[in-house]
Structure 1
Amino acid sequence: MGEQPKFKLLPKILNGGIAGIVGVTCVFPLDLVKTRLQNQQIGPNGERMYNSMLDCFKKTYRVEGYFGMYRGSGVNILLITPEKAIKLTANDFFRHHLTTKEGKLPVQREMMAGGLAGLCQIVVTTPMELLKIQLQDAGRVAAQAKASGKTADIPKISATSITLKLLREKGIVGLYKGTAATMLRDVSFSVVYFPLFAHLNSLGPRKADGSGEAVFWCSFLSGCASGSLAALAVNPFDVVKTRLQLLSKGAVSPVSRNSRCDYVSMCLYVE
């Protein structure tokens, strides 16, 4: 029986970093819409700022323009490389070491490897998500303030100013608000995603170069299917995490701070 192939760390880190940057660039507008839909307040009579995903896209683009759809992306692009590198590298590392001497990896061990990878990534994911959420929600806050004539009350924020404020007031712990919810989401996601991807990917045709790797379209479709199902499974945890990590709940809530008329006027503004 031959030796198991050696685990190569550097290629895994590079692949994870590149994949993370490409992923952020492609799907960040969707993530921004997700955050705003998860954070929006509902008025006493069911009034909403956004009625649907498409409605949120249209209103955000109309008020903030194309680059408004990428509000907060700088934080993700900066931190997504270590986050994805940790996640993908840790998963491969644990899969490598949990493989039996016979070269097999039972599904229980696949899930364990995925869960441990998700646990490792929260050291980067938690502060990244915390900062990203504040920046993504800033456009909605500005729209509400403009509608009510209180633009002077909303200071401009940046990832640097938020980080320094949290470090000054709460120390490093301030950047890890919502860690438990982030852990619940990321561990659960990885437990579902990685084993499912591995099994779907193994069903497709292999490359002709003898490497044993799946062809590109098979890996791509396997990733899309696995990611969609895993995201659907953990979405309730993601909603909880997003709402826990929003730092300025009182300042942005149209229900708690403004009257029903103010809330409606804010919605009319973005229309």
Structure 2
Amino acid sequence: GGVDRHKQFWRYFAGNLASGGAAGATSLCFVYPLDFARTRLAADVGKGATEREFTGLGDCIVKIFKSDGLKGLYQGFSVSVQGIIIYRAAYFGVYDTAKGMLPDPKNVHIVVSWMIAQTVTAVAGLVSYPFDTVRRRMMMQSGRKGADIMYKGTIDCWKKIAKDEGSKAFFKGAWSNVLRGMGGAFVLVLYDEIKKYV
């Protein structure tokens, strides 16, 4: 059983991409409203206590739900699913494939594993970052009405950012995201090391 990673490389690679992407998209369905509320609360912090829109996580979720319904809590969800599929597919798919192509995949030195994981995490983070930028922009306009709404939808958001701000705007903050991902690379390697002994 299984796919021969050397004879059927593309099938092996596609299988790793698909399983990584599916895992990311499935988990996102459940945690998205919490991520949404966290993003909104982070933007609400700089104001004085009396000017704040929300008093906490629960208040944010309730107010957005009352204002826009369940749809409001999932504002930017479709672009998030696309981004997470790309990120997780690259993260797990490329990592597992790269390790599988080594001469002895089960006995890879931890430093080599970490270097592969570091590269994969950085590439996955950069490739998926434009989706994250659009996602955050869509989240920030939830609960707004009329003239306060900047984007008609996800595609409109992509177009306006590209036209008004240029392609660099999609990558604002990407470097800090890559640095943050270093922890993710360590977790990926640690998970592999633990699997050896379990």
- Amino acid of the residue matched to residue 114 of structure 2? M
- For the pair 1:159 / 2:164, whether they are aligned, the reply is no
| Separation in structure 1 between the aligned mates of residue 50 and residue 183 of structure 2, nearest angstrom | 31
What residue in structure 2 maps to residue 17 of structure 1?
Answer: 21
| Aligned-partner SS, 2:47 | coil
- Deviations 1:224-267 (Å, cap 9, x if unpaired)? xxxxxxxxxxxxxxxxxxxxxxxxxxxxxxxxxxxxxxxxxxxx
Please give the alpha-carbon distance, in whole angstroms, between the structure 1 residues aligned to 2:105 and 2:193.
Answer: 18
Unmatched runs of 5 consecutive residues or more in structure 2:
none
Match of 1:116 in 2: 119
Corresponding residue for residue 171 of structure 1: 166
Compute the displacement of 1:14 (Å): 1.5
Shift of 1:156: 4.8
Query: Secondary structure at the residue paired with 1:139?
Result: coil
5+ long unaligned stretches in structure 1: 143-150, 205-271
Deviations 1:3-53 (A, max 9, x none): x96462121122122222212212211211121122223334575433332
Partner of 1:130: 133
Name the aligned partner's letter for residue 133 of structure 1.
Answer: R
Per the TM alignment, residue 201 of structure 1 is displaced from its structure 2 partner at its CA by 4.3
TM-score after normalising by structure 1: 0.61
C-alpha distance in 1 between matches for 2:86 and 2:141: 25
2:97 is matched by which residue type in structure 1? F
CA-to-partner distance for each residue in 1:174-201, whole Å, 9 max, x for gaps?
Answer: 3222221222223x24223212322444
Match of 1:184 among 179, 185, 189: 179
Q: Radius of gyration: which is bigger?
A: 1
1:196 aligns with 2:177: no
Measure, in 2, the Cα distance between the counterparts of 1:89 and 1:109: 17
The verdict on how the C-alpha distance between 1:200 and 1:61 changes in structure 2, with shifts beyond 3 A counting, is: farther
Whether the aligned pair in 2 keeps the contact of 1:119 and 1:183 (CA below 8 Å) is: yes
User: Following the alignment from structure 1 to structure 2, what is the Cα–Cα distance between the partners of residues 93 and 166?
Assistant: 34
Shift of 1:60: 2.3
Once the two structures are superposed, the pairs formed by residues 59-138 of structure 1 within 5 Å of their partners are 59-97=63-101, 101=104, 103-138=106-141
When normalised by structure 2's length, the TM-score is 0.80
Measured against aligned partners, the alpha-carbon deviations of 1:124-176 in whole angstroms (never above 9, x if no partner) come to 32101100001111125x1xxxxxxxx54313512222211222234332322
CA contact (8 A) 1:79 1:128 kept: yes
Q: 1:9 to 1:68 in 2, by over 3 A?
A: same
Percent sequence identity is 18
